[in-house]
Structure 1
Amino acid sequence: MVLVVVLAMVAAFLALRLYMVLGKRTGHEQPLMPKPAEERAAPTPLPRPIEIVQEPREIANRNIDSRAEAGLRAIVSAESGFDIGQFLEGAKSAYRMILEAYWKGDEEALEWLVEDEVRHAFAEAIAARATAGHVLDNRLVSIERAIIADASVEGKLARITVRFDADIAAVTRDAEGNVVAGSMSDAEETHDVWTFARMLKSSDPNWKLADTDEA
């Protein structure tokens, strides 16, 4: 019996201490006073944004030879709207269109795709082919790669040289349709180096083929 009374007294004492420490919430307590400004912890400063320096218009690109970088920077500096990626896609489209126009002997299409000197060379080759009675039955199978090999600016004239690695099925037929040379079943690897030119800040956005060569 004495032990029970002692335990009851200990329990009462602990309950009283717990009440004194935690207090009794009535809903009318005064809110905690904010600490003085000098006592409040200073806010943690946000990290400064990292400045990212990028090459203009993706000049650091695996499809660009290092020799072309200075010329491309000059082009971008003179005409900020120039986009290297769009140019390469346009160059590949022009490569296909010019080849197909030449193979078909379509001089009207070549007139707005190439510069005069190249157009005259193509016209002479088309005329010689017609005189021989030959017809080209060629097909561009694929463009495996297009790389900007060089670029330059002289005055307002910009020139960009592109190397094309492509597979072409080439067949030459006579007037009766007989195969004179080539085969449509075997595509040949071709490596062409074409230079496109355009006057910067011109109202005409088109680049024209100014020179052709083989790699």
Structure 2
Amino acid sequence: MEFFDFGTVFFLVAAVVIFFQLRNVLGRRTGNERPPFDPYTAARTPDKSKDSAKSPENVVALPRKRSAGEANDDAYRPIDAVAQPGTDLNKGLRAIKDADPGFEPKTFLEGAKMAYEMIVMAFADGDRKTLKNLLSREVFEGFVAAIADRESRSEKIQSSFVGIDKADFVSAEMKGSEAHVTLRIVSELISATRDSAGTVIDGDPETVAEVKDVWTFARDTRSRDPNWKLVATEAED
């Protein structure tokens, strides 16, 4: 039997010790290791640090603060749609908008057309209660006087409202705190006045007539009451 000499044993022991030391160091994970480098994956994966600096998709655009002038332009845009900028009508509507931020021309126009029909029919029917809610005191007194005069002669109006063909802004202005808007309204109406015997003395119960009116509506912008009232009427030939 052959025996290892001292030198051979020494190197064997030293090799075993070095092996375990390297294993302890190389085989231990600290949690900070980088993943293995894959050259194919690296070639396909873009460098995010570079792309983020170049690509506009990674940039979040903050909203630009509007100036006071731009904000006013937005508020006046509905007015500019119904009245040419720079005209007296446009200036008047803008003044009303300044006094009453809730004022919108198209909304007002729709409301005025509904009020027009209600007033016309209430006058024909002698409905004082409805008229009182829609007319100013002066106009109400005039309408009531006409109704009373008609009733004193036992006359009645037979009326059918066909519709409004056209409604346009004529003028607008602020009178102190009171907003005034004048409209030209073209409507179609079937109307006839009959005497106590039922005989037609005015109009035609079978014919649609075109009626042209210029009406002015007003409201106090300081009031909590949002309703406008008819303050002036004028028939247009």
The normalised TM-score by structure 2 is 0.69
Q: Quote the offset at 1:71 in angstroms.
A: 1.0
Residue pair 2:79, 2:104 contacting (<8 A) in 1 also = no
CA deviation map 1:174-193 (0-9, x unaligned)? 12322222212211111100
CA deviation map 1:87-126 (0-9, x unaligned)? 1111001001111111111112111110011011111111
When residues 44 and 182 of structure 1 are mapped into structure 2, their CA distance, relative to the original with a 3 A threshold, is same
Distance 1:39 1:192 in 2: 68
Q: Paired residue for 1:29?
A: 39
Equivalent of 1:74 in 78, 88, 95: 95
RMSD: 3.0
When residues 207 and 57 of structure 1 are mapped into structure 2, their CA distance, relative to the original with a 3 A threshold, is farther
The normalised TM-score by structure 1 is 0.76
- Tell me whether 1:42 sits opposite 2:54 in the alignment: yes
- Tell me whether 1:198 sits opposite 2:210 in the alignment: no
Distance 1:102 1:191 in 2: 16
Q: How many pairs were matched up?
A: 188
CA deviation map 1:146-173 (0-9, x unaligned)? 1111100022111000110111111011
Unaligned runs of 5+ in 1: 1-26
When residues 150 and 37 of structure 1 are mapped into structure 2, their CA distance, relative to the original with a 3 A threshold, is same
- Tell me whether 1:59 sits opposite 2:79 in the alignment: yes
CA deviation map 1:34-85 (0-9, x unaligned)? 66978997335989999885462511234x4754211110111111111211
CA deviation map 1:9-40 (0-9, x unaligned)? xxxxxxxxxxxxxxxxxx95362496697899
Quote the sequence identity (%). 35
Residue pair 2:136, 2:230 contacting (<8 A) in 1 also = yes
When residues 144 and 67 of structure 1 are mapped into structure 2, their CA distance, relative to the original with a 3 A threshold, is farther
Equivalent of 2:109 in 88, 104, 107: 88
Residue pair 1:164, 1:193 contacting (<8 A) in 2 also = yes
Unaligned runs of 5+ in 2: 1-36
Distance 1:39 1:134 in 2: 87
Q: Paired residue for 2:140?
A: 119
Larger relative contact order (Cα-Cα within 8 Å, sequence gap ≥ 6): 1
